[in-house]
Amino acid sequence: MKPVKIAMMGMTHGHTRKYYQTLIENKKLDWVASCAQDEEAKRVYELYETGVPCYLDPDEMYRKHPDIEAVVIASANDRHFEQMKWCAEKGIHILSMKIPTFDMNEYDEMIEMCDKARIVCQIELEMHYNSVVRRLEKLIKNGAIGKIKSVQATNITLSPVWAFPWQGDPKASFGSVVPLKRGDPRFRGGALCDHPHIFDLIRHLTGSDFDYIFAEVAPNLRDGLKVEDMLMAVGKMKDGTAFLFDPSWSRLEEKLKVPGPGWERFPKRMEVNVTITGDKGMISCDCFGPNVYHNGAPNDRYTVQYTYFDEWVGLIDEFVDCIRNHKTPLINLRWHKQTILAMLGCYESIQTGKIAKVN
Amino acid sequence: MNLKRMNKGLDFLRGKYGAKKGEITIKDGHCYVGATPLLPGRMERKIVELKKMTENGTLEGVSTLRFAAFSPKGADLEAMLAKELDLAAYLGASDIVRVMAVANGNAINVLAKLANDVNVSVEIGAGLPKGEFGYDRHEIIAKRGVACDQTVDTHTPHSSIRCWGANGTDDYTDVDTELFGLTYEEIWNVRAAFALLQGRASAKIWKAAWAKAAKAAALAFESDRKKAAKAIAVKQGLNTNEAIKTSEVR
């Protein structure tokens, strides 16, 4: 199979660095170029010494590498639309970060432009390539606990805002400046926008879509943050499955400019835990455990050293397979729309204090 | 271990990333590629992370290693001990120079010394009911920091998933997406074979390392019989405890 000539754009997303190793090692890919959003993003990119040239102007990158076939769009949420458009106009396949956009008009335009250009647009929801999630899906599919009645899930992390400031910027993260609710000084665009995974996972596990959702924000843990960092949601799927989600930034962090050892203050910087009650049994699941643990450098604090997790390997394999074999990715724009609508439902519920129907 | 399944996994990795041709065979319960004994323990991701911590400054001034391994009844105690002593030399970055052991039936407790003065304790037991999964523990105690592959406040490993299903309770820990479906033991033997065929691990080093570990394990049993510590002469030359390049495994 001819390797796919791939590039990265933006380089400001928190997941950017996680692609480097896979893009270099996977023989199905030829990583030819990167294009940073600004000098600072370029400076940080260069710290990782990938050996892949980095540009500041996408058109210059394209002039020098006209054979680019695919791009990983690793930028702030409010840049996705223009970058997708840039790719679609050139017939370049797209691997998008987890939130293509919260603007549903833009979202529909994205679908249209990708259809018209006949390109693959895969959304990065890497949890599907996690071996624990794969086992969980298999158990549910094989009827290990019967029909699902209830799902509780956390997608809790530290906040990346100090390293990736756009994630604390309402416009850059949510796409527009919208107050959370009357009398609240905060805006949409925080922890919720960082954590779509559990909203997606429940749809795969139940085979059902969202019916309604009710969400509440709590006081922020971080002073001065303009967006929410603590919230929870309950609701029901159309098949009656009850759910409780915690998509918060509930784990405090050191204010590092570049993620690295010592970032976390709570021992585990990221947790996706799922508890499922079925009519024949129950499953309790830690998607990122067990691990290895230490209390050494740099902060001498008890710390979880993530050990087994290689989601980006499978994610990229699927992307290449879709490009070369003309397949539709599991997480494509059409599928993902319902997940984005459910997240918007959370914001609507926070604003109104009532349940939001997800349609 | 299912050899057919393991070699299929190995072929998949070779095809995807590129590596020399080769296949895994089993002799006396141990896996080989050609004449080279595999050291799957060194490839276990948790050992890779612990090794990194000893080398990247997370831990400073290693003093003591506390290891344990427990298996179902009937397991080969000497092979279990050899694996743990190899990991002790590997994580302690120094060869074993002395062993003293006390054995009784299906258990042996070992106190070993590395050439760099690090102490090693190894608890080995084969008393678990047949059909149970075995488990192990590796703790590194340093002047700066303690690292362990079990979390604080636990004494047995936990699993990623517990399923209380219609047919009873089952635990699952899946550690490798590319080799999903293989057992834990199979996965690390496949990864070891792949490392060898890619040239990231050296056949010469693994042969020498396994010979040292097997000798140390045999001497440990002898020390129990003789009620006296056994010294092991360290040969100068080949460093058998350098980290393996594990780039394709995250």
Alpha carbons B250 and B246: distance in angstroms, whole number: 8
Is A134 at the interface with chain B, CB within 8 A? yes
Q: Between chains, do A310 and B249 touch, taking CB under 8 Å as contact?
A: yes
Kindly state whether residue A222 falls inside one of the protein's structural domains.
yes
pLDDT confidence of residue A215? 98
Alpha carbons B16 and B55: distance in angstroms, whole number: 30
Collect all residues of chain A within an 8 Å Cβ-Cβ radius of residue B157.
290
Residue B60 DSSP class: E
Token digits of residue B57: 């400054």
pLDDT confidence of residue A90? 98
Task: Please report which confidence band the pLDDT of residue B247 belongs to, taking 50, 70 and 90 as the band edges.
Answer: low
What's the mean pLDDT in A254-271? 95
What is chain B's mean pLDDT, rounded?
95
**Phi and psi at residue B228, to the nearest 5°:** -155, 140
Alpha carbons A298 and A263: distance in angstroms, whole number: 9
Collect all residues of chain A within an 8 Å Cβ-Cβ radius of residue B246.
none
pLDDT confidence of residue B88? 98
Task: Give the one of B142, B149, B162 whose C-beta lies nearest to A284's C-beta.
Answer: B162
Task: Please report which confidence band the pLDDT of residue B208 belongs to, taking 50, 70 and 90 as the band edges.
Answer: very high
Q: Which residue of A has its CA nearest to B62?
A: A296
Angle at A135 between CA A129 and CA A139, to 5 degrees: 140
Q: Between chains, do B162 and A302 touch, taking CB under 8 Å as contact?
A: no
Q: Between chains, do B151 and A311 touch, taking CB under 8 Å as contact?
A: no
Mutate to test the interface with B, among A23, A28, A294, A317 (most CBs of B within 10 A): A294
Say whether B206 sits in a helix, a strand or coil.
helix
Tell me: pLDDT of B250 over 70.
no
User: Which of A79, A102, A126 represents a domain boundary (last residue)?
Assistant: A126
Tell me: pLDDT of B245 over 90.
no
Q: Which residue of B has its CA nearest to A311?
A: B177
Let me know whether A100 and A168 are in one domain. no
The whole domain housing A170 covers: 128-308+335-357
Task: Please report which confidence band the pLDDT of residue B249 belongs to, taking 50, 70 and 90 as the band edges.
Answer: very low
Q: What is the pLDDT of residues A154-177, one digit of tens each?
A: 999 999 999 999 999 999 999 999
What's the mean pLDDT in A133-153? 97
pTM: 0.94
Kindly state whether residue A316 falls inside one of the protein's structural domains.
no
ipTM of this predicted structure: 0.94
Let me know whether A294 and A351 are in one domain. yes
Q: What is the pLDDT of residues B39-96, one digit of tens each?
A: 999 999 999 999 999 999 999 999 999 999 999 999 999 999 999 999 999 999 999 9
What's the mean pLDDT in A83-89? 98
Q: What is the pLDDT of residues A96-121, one digit of tens each?
A: 999 999 999 999 999 999 999 999 99
Token digits of residue A38: 């600004």
Q: Which residue of B has its CA nearest to A261?
A: B58
Let me know whether A133 and A78 are in one domain. no
User: Which of A126, A148, A173 represents a domain boundary (last residue)?
Assistant: A126
Alpha carbons B126 and B100: distance in angstroms, whole number: 19
CA torsion, ordered B2, B3, B5, B8, to nearest 10 deg: 170
Q: Would you give the distance in Å from CA A176 to the centre of its chain?
A: 19
Is A293 at the interface with chain B, CB within 8 A? yes
What's the mean pLDDT in B128-150? 96
Let me know whether A57 and A179 are in one domain. no
- CATH assignment at residue A284: 3.30.360.10
Let me know whether A303 and A256 are in one domain. yes
Instruction: Render the burial of B57-73: b for 16+ CB within 10 Å, e for the rest.
Output: ebbeebeebbbbbbbee
Kindly state whether residue A157 falls inside one of the protein's structural domains.
yes
The tally of domains found in chain A comes to 2
Which residues 6+ apart lie within 8 Å of B50 measured at CB?
A: A292, B91, B138, B140, B147, B149
Let me know whether A80 and A166 are in one domain. no
Task: Give the one of A283, A305, A308 whose C-beta lies nearest to B163's C-beta.
Answer: A283
pLDDT over 90 percentage in chain B: 91
Residue B123 burial (10 A CB sphere; 0-12, 13-18, 19+): middle
Q: Between chains, do A292 and B60 touch, taking CB under 8 Å as contact?
A: no
Let me know whether A121 and A141 are in one domain. no
A-B contacts (CB, under 8 Å): 146
Is A252 at the interface with chain B, CB within 8 A? no
Query: A271 CA to chain B: closest CA distance, Å?
Result: 12
Tell which residue, A320, A310, A312, A291, has the closest CA to residue B180: A310
Query: A317 CA to chain B: closest CA distance, Å?
Result: 10
pLDDT confidence of residue B248? 38
Task: Please report which confidence band the pLDDT of residue A18 belongs to, taking 50, 70 and 90 as the band edges.
Answer: confident
Let me know whether A291 and A226 are in one domain. yes
Complete domains list, chain B, with CATH: 3-231 (3.30.360.10)
HSE at residue A27, side-chain half, CA atoms within 13 A, is 10
Let me know whether A121 and A132 are in one domain. no
Helix (H) or strand (E) holding B45: helix B45-55
pLDDT confidence of residue B246? 65
Alpha carbons B185 and B75: distance in angstroms, whole number: 14
Q: Between chains, do A27 and B247 touch, taking CB under 8 Å as contact?
A: no
Q: Between chains, do B177 and A131 touch, taking CB under 8 Å as contact?
A: yes
User: Which of A84, A111, A126 represents a domain boundary (last residue)?
Assistant: A126
pLDDT confidence of residue A16? 87
Token digits of residue B241: 């405890």
Let me know whether A145 and A269 are in one domain. yes
Collect all residues of chain A within an 8 Å Cβ-Cβ radius of residue B173.
132, 290
- Please count the other Cβ atoms lying within 10 Å of the Cβ belonging to residue A30: 15
Collect all residues of chain A within an 8 Å Cβ-Cβ radius of residue B175.
131, 307-308
Let me know whether A34 and A149 are in one domain. no
Kindly state whether residue A289 falls inside one of the protein's structural domains.
yes
Let me know whether A254 and A342 are in one domain. yes
Is B150 at the interface with chain A, CB within 8 A? yes
Q: Between chains, do A290 and B250 touch, taking CB under 8 Å as contact?
A: no
Kindly state whether residue A324 falls inside one of the protein's structural domains.
no
Task: Tell me if A28 sits within 8 A of A4, measured CB to CB.
Answer: yes
Kindly state whether residue A327 falls inside one of the protein's structural domains.
no
Residue A75 burial (10 A CB sphere; 0-12, 13-18, 19+): buried
What angle, rounded to 10 degrees, do the helices at A80-90 and A104-117 form? Answer: 10
Is A280 at the interface with chain B, CB within 8 A? yes
Kindly state whether residue A323 falls inside one of the protein's structural domains.
no
Kindly state whether residue A216 falls inside one of the protein's structural domains.
yes
Q: What is the pLDDT of residues A309-322, one digit of tens each?
A: 788 889 999 999 99
Q: Which amino acid is at B88?
A: A
Task: Tell me if B86 sits within 8 A of B209, measured CB to CB.
Answer: yes
Tell me: pLDDT of A227 over 60.
yes
- CATH assignment at residue A72: 3.40.50.720
Alpha carbons A189 and A187: distance in angstroms, whole number: 6
